[in-house]
Amino acid sequence: MRVQFLLPFVCVMLLGGCSGPSRQAPASLPSEPSTLKSVSPVAPPPGNLADFQAKAAQYHAIITLPPFETTSNAIAASAKATIHDADAALDKIGRLTPQEVTFQNTAVALDDAQWLISETENRFEIIKETSPDAALRDTATERLKALQEWAVGLDYREDVYRALKAFADTRPKLEGEDAKLLFETMRDYRRAGLDLPKEDRDEVEALRKKLSDMTTDFETHITDAQQKLNFTKNELEGVSADFLEQKGVKNDDGTFTVRPNITWHYLTVEENCKREDTRLKVQTARDNLARGENVPLLQQILVTRDDLAHKLGYKTWADYQIEVRMAKTATNAQSFLGRLKTGLQPKFDAELAEFRALKVKETGDANTQIHLWDWRYYANQLKKEKYTIDEEQLKIYFPYERVLDGMFAIYQRIFGLKFYRMEPPYKWVSDLQLYGVTDAQTGEPLGLFYLDMFPREGKYNHFAQFDIIEGKLLDNGDYQRPTVALICNFPAPAPGKPSLLEHEDVTTLFHEFGHAMHSILTRAKYSRFSGTSVPRDFVEAPSQMLENWTWDKRVLDSFAADYRDPSKKIPADILDKLKEAKLAIEGTYYRRQLSFGVVDLALHTQIHASNADDTVPLSNELEGEVFLPEPPDTAFVAYFGHLMEYDAGYYGYAWADSIAADMATVFEKAPDGYFDVSAGRRLRKEIYEVGDSRDIEESIEKFLGRKQSIEPFLKKLGINAEAQGTK
């Protein structure tokens, strides 16, 4: 099996703002049989899209097919029209006198304008990532960039700010989602420096511009960084012939070139090469990539961020960034990481001891230690020795269609939904699928989702859910229901051979489709709060929770079966082995994750103009303390791209994992486990429908029926929290 050692990426693509409350009482829950007897197929289509839209109208809901542009001219025209319409809407707000301002014509009108812009941006994003036509992709990319740059300037429209402020100054008595909308809109302005005296505000704007340029440069240096190392065959002992025969690896003179900047080169050597000196060389080279350019640049970026935070009234950049997230302060995020570090210590020690035992056996050196350049190799050895799992053998249980239908059956059941396949009037690729979602009990149409599931030239190459049309209450009282797309890269079917998924692919599908549910089931009034527009340290949690489903024998048995003989289910011992293999290195995996979170927060709380030279020593010291010491004379932070886009946010991965484990207990303790209808409806009502329209902590507690706890997460990692005193 493959275990993910790479840095995770954020897989829900967000362009717009974020959060909202439930406006509708949930339907009472029908009682359902306690086991899924068989995979129930997707319900028959209710005719076509037009019928679906007509049905929606009965519920004052609008179902919209995105008007995808199919020519470069059409893209340019849409960009122009969007700028024109948004400018007109903003001009209208900007012209209001203090006597004229209302909640509707300021805060709501601004949310409307932002929604309008995001619709076009989202559509361009889809074209950019999926169009089979390279020229169209290029135009969409170019126009999207121009649109986004233009949209940044909207924060600084003083006329609009003055109208919003005039309304806020009336101290209106607003409640719930309305109050949150006004509060957060004004908070955004404050965070952009709009409430500062002109001179200071100009300085803030200039610093932001400078930061934006510097972070772009930092990322460009990472992309451009290259390094080549030459090795003999002997020095690469243990690395597969497949790799050594690769074009660009094998040289005419019989040597081999490894490029530490190519992640799979780096991983292949670190996981497989028997020679410690080779692993060390590759690790050292990797941790020095972009060092010359990026160390001084990073120092400048950190100092500028620190400066900017002070100008905006924050103690540190981390406090500024985290203010709008669940953790709220840098101290909260740091103390979370601290507790997790302590909790993981015994498991991490035990795993390192196991790696060390393997190294002692292999090297004959009783005093040998596990270093940063060793752990991947011995983790891989451990996997091979103790948990032999043949991925190929497992794939026969996961034919794509069966997995998709199985997942649909589970999600329809627990969330009380029906999915209807319909023919998309426009397809950007021939195998594109479109589905409508309705409430199973009332028949109310809730939204649409596209599936674009197989790889092709020029297509987005990860797995993600993309919002296209975000949910929002319209002026006339109708509700604009969402349209989303899943853009994935599962193995394509071949003639006579179905697409067979790896277990990891199945987990990814359950995860990504969870984001689609989060988007589609929204009832938030404002697009700022609807769907997945929740704080970034929470957005992955519900989907991470749903990953548990694919490790449950009962869930898997409801759909997974040998495609040649569906009476054959996955043998229990294979699944157990898979779980053991995952658990065997989780202490190491998370301590490494934590080390990055700790470094990220330390740099964004402790580095100032007076000590910028400490950037590299501080990072290396903390990395060594929380994970394993860096090779001598290296500067891994120069190549740590997350410090740009995800600054003071890396802690969020573990933070969301911890909430996910906590939330999973609701299903685990429910009578019907991962099939439990009442737990599923609670997730729909308290998390998905609400979005960010109320404080996310409140939503989580309503779903849990209690306060949050870190214990289920530690328990999942095989740690007894009470014994560790980490409660």
Catalytic residues: 512
Structure tokens at 349: 């020690």
Coil/strand/helix, residue 109: helix
Enumerate helices (H) and strands (E) in the chain, giving the number of each: 28, 11
* Minimal distance, residue 163 CB to Zn ion, in Å: 37
Structure tokens at 378: 């011995």
Structure tokens at 364: 């004959």
Minimum CB distance to Zn ion smaller for 11 or for 612: 11
What character string, x for contact with Zn ion (CB under 5 A) and - otherwise, covers 198-237?
----------------------------------------
Minimum CB distance to Zn ion smaller for 413 or for 518: 518
What character string, x for contact with Zn ion (CB under 5 A) and - otherwise, covers 172-201?
------------------------------
Structure tokens at 117: 């812009």
Rule CB under 5 A: say whether 11 interacts with Zn ion. Answer: yes
Specify the stretch interacting with Zn ion by CB under 5 A; choose among 7-15, 383-391, 565-573, 612-620: 7-15
Burial status of residue 242 (CB atoms within 10 A of its CB: 0-12, 13-18, 19 or more): exposed
* Minimal distance, residue 464 CB to Zn ion, in Å: 7
Q: Which of residues 292-321 bind Zn ion (CB under 5 A)?
A: none
Alpha helices, DSSP H only, in 558-695?
Answer: 572-584, 586-606, 615-626, 642-645, 651-668, 677-683
* Minimal distance, residue 560 CB to Zn ion, in Å: 22
Minimum CB distance to Zn ion smaller for 12 or for 555: 12
Minimum CB distance to Zn ion smaller for 320 or for 590: 590
Q: Which of residues 607-646 bind Zn ion (CB under 5 A)?
A: none
Q: Which of residues 567-586 bind Zn ion (CB under 5 A)?
A: none
* Minimal distance, residue 320 CB to Zn ion, in Å: 25
Work out the number of other CB atoms within 10 angstroms of the CB of residue 616.
Answer: 19
Q: Which of residues 445-464 bind Zn ion (CB under 5 A)?
A: none
* Minimal distance, residue 532 CB to Zn ion, in Å: 9
* Minimal distance, residue 4 CB to Zn ion, in Å: 13
* Minimal distance, residue 540 CB to Zn ion, in Å: 5
Question: Which residue's Cβ lies closest to Zn ion?
Answer: 11
* Minimal distance, residue 690 CB to Zn ion, in Å: 19
Minimum CB distance to Zn ion smaller for 12 or for 303: 12
Residue corresponding to tokens 């893209």: 75
* Minimal distance, residue 608 CB to Zn ion, in Å: 35
Specify the stretch interacting with Zn ion by CB under 5 A; choose among 207-215, 227-235, 541-549, 701-709: 541-549
Minimum CB distance to Zn ion smaller for 12 or for 39: 12
Q: Chain-centre distance of CA 383, in angstroms? A: 27
E runs forming strands in 35-182: 61-62
Burial status of residue 426 (CB atoms within 10 A of its CB: 0-12, 13-18, 19 or more): exposed
Q: Chain-centre distance of CA 561, in angstroms? A: 30
Rule CB under 5 A: say whether 7 interacts with Zn ion. Answer: no
Minimum CB distance to Zn ion smaller for 543 or for 693: 543
Distance CA 687, CA 690 (A): 5
Q: Which of residues 379-408 bind Zn ion (CB under 5 A)?
A: none
Give the largest CA-CA distance in the chain.
84
Determine contact, residues 719/658, Cβ cutoff 8 Å: no
Determine contact, residues 485/449, Cβ cutoff 8 Å: yes
Q: Which of residues 12-51 bind Zn ion (CB under 5 A)?
A: 12
DSSP 397: T
Residue 439 phi, psi (nearest 5): -70, 130
Determine contact, residues 299/219, Cβ cutoff 8 Å: no
What character string, x for contact with Zn ion (CB under 5 A) and - otherwise, covers 501-540?
---------------------------------------x
**Using a CB cutoff of 8 Å and minimum separation of 24, what contacts does 548-553 make?**
548/660, 548/664, 548/667, 548/674, 549/410, 549/510, 549/674, 550/503, 550/506, 550/507, 550/510, 551/507, 551/575, 551/578, 551/579, 552/673, 552/674
Counting residues that bind Zn ion (by CB under 5 A) gives 4
Minimum CB distance to Zn ion smaller for 653 or for 713: 653
Rule CB under 5 A: say whether 543 interacts with Zn ion. Answer: yes
Minimum CB distance to Zn ion smaller for 106 or for 465: 465
Q: What is the Cβ-side half-sphere exposure of residue 98, based on CA atoms within 13 angstroms?
A: 7
Specify the stretch interacting with Zn ion by CB under 5 A; choose among 6-14, 184-192, 317-325, 706-714: 6-14
Residues near Zn ion, by CB under 5 A: 11-12, 540, 543
